[in-house]
Structure 1
Amino acid sequence: MTTTDDYAAYIASLPRVLAGAAALFRDAEGRVLLVEPNYREGWALPGGTIESDRGESPRTAARRESAEEIGLDLPLGRLLAVDWVLGTARPPLVAYVYDGGVLDGEQLGSIKLQEEELLSWKLVEPAELTAHLPGSLGRRIQEAYRVLESGEGTAELENGSPAPR
């Protein structure tokens, strides 16, 4: 076996990890924009899978997914949270959450949902996020919002909760 073959075998033996990215948009009152997928229960932020096979970065994925899902192609702000989420029926997930900024009335009025994937959208008070977002997703977005409001650095999370230090 050559060194190239050894390296290819080594790479093939590594564990698989999924990666996703989303944008946290809010209105002038601080309410968070959520979207309702048609392919699963609950709500989510605009976002989705990082297409790393195309060389896409987490930031680029969050912006692309936002443009596809809600029709707003806006530059994203800082990274708010990174979450390591263990899965039982899937490989682990690394989820990135970026600051999407504050949307004005005109931007909110121009939202166009991706009909193939989404049923609706709404603005939710930060205190109500965990009622709309299932499990670790709700905790992740609450932590991202907390970091955004506090001006702290990026939140490092495990299953939606602050990582142990």
Structure 2
Amino acid sequence: MTTADYATYIAGLPRILAGAAVLFRDDDGRVLLVEPNYRDGWALPGGTVESDEGETPRQGARRETLEEIGLDVPPGRPLAVDWVPGTARPPIVAYLYDGGVLSAEQIKAIRLQEEELVSWRFVPRADLPAHLLGALGGRVLAALDALTTGTGPVELENGTPVA
């Protein structure tokens, strides 16, 4: 296969997007959520993996966390991987990492990326479905279950565990 043939082959392959986020908690087990200004609902610190630049999901999660909330925290173990189909976009593979329990000093150091985020808060598990829309809500609940049981990462499709 020539270089041109290989390039044509690669260009014809299906495309997917990748996202990565970090699940941070406080001493009471509440989850840190951020409120974006560009869409409805809340989110976790995270975003698109810059795969064209050679970035891995773990690197993307760390970079996005630093950009969005000003904390440079190495992501812990993976908690969930979610395949989220799209209609107006390619499917997304969403990686969710454990960020651990933030210290009082880390919480005081949170600084929002004002270009994209309006606010942040810690939310108890019972209130997460009201804040997290679509597959993200199921993804976060499955990740919390993986933390509680010591299992994981959990494989999900559109926020639902795969049987």
Q: TM-score range by the shorter chain?
A: over 0.9
Give the gaps of 5 or more residues in structure 1: none
Q: Which residue in the other structure is 1:116 paired with?
A: 115
Aligned to 2:50: 51
Deviations, residues 91-127 of structure 1 (Å, cap 9, x unaligned): 1000000001100111111100000100000000012
Runs of 4+ in 1 over 2 A off after TM superposition: none
1:144 is aligned with what amino acid?
A
Percent identity, please: 68
1:140 corresponds in structure 2 to 139
Partners of 1:88 and 1:144 in 2: CA distance: 25
CA distance in 2, matches of 1:74, 1:18: 24
- Which stretch of the first structure deviates more once superposed, 39-48 or 101-110? 101-110
Question: By how many angstroms is 1:143 displaced?
Answer: 0.5
Matched, 1:149 2:140: no
Which residue number in structure 1 is paired with residue 60 of structure 2? 61
2:93 corresponds to which letter in structure 1? Answer: V
TM-score by length of 2: 0.97
The 3-state SS of whatever aligns with 1:83 is strand
Alignment correspondent of 1:37: 36
The residue aligned with 1:14 is 13
Alpha-carbon distance in structure 2 between the residues aligned to 1:12 and 1:30:
45
CA distance in 1, matches of 2:131, 2:152: 25
Give 1:89 shift. 1.2
Let me know the Cα RMSD of the aligned residues. Answer: 0.9
TM-score, normalisation: structure 1: 0.96
Residue 40 of structure 1 aligns to which amino acid in structure 2? R
Q: Which amino acid aligns with 1:35?
A: V
Q: Quote the Cα distance in structure 2 between the aligned partners of 1:153 and 1:136.
A: 18
Offset at residue 153 of structure 1 (A): 2.1
Matching residue of 1:100: 99
CA distance in 2, matches of 1:144, 1:81: 6
Instruction: Indicate the SS of the match to 2:90.
Output: coil
Query: Matches of 1:152 and 1:64 in 2, distance apart?
Result: 26
Secondary structure of 1:30's aligned partner = coil
Q: Tell me, what secondary structure is at the counterpart of 2:21?
A: strand
| 1:88 corresponds to | 87
Task: Deviation per CA, 1:57-80: give whole Å up to 9, x if none.
Answer: 000000000001000001111000
Amino acid of the structure 1 residue aligned with 2:109: S
Q: In structure 2, the residue corresponding to 1:43 is in which secondary structure?
A: coil
Could you tell me which runs of 5 or more consecutive residues in structure 2 were left unpaired when the two chains were aligned: none
Aligned to 1:163: 162
1:6-35 CA distance string (max 9 Å, x none): 111110001110100000000011000000
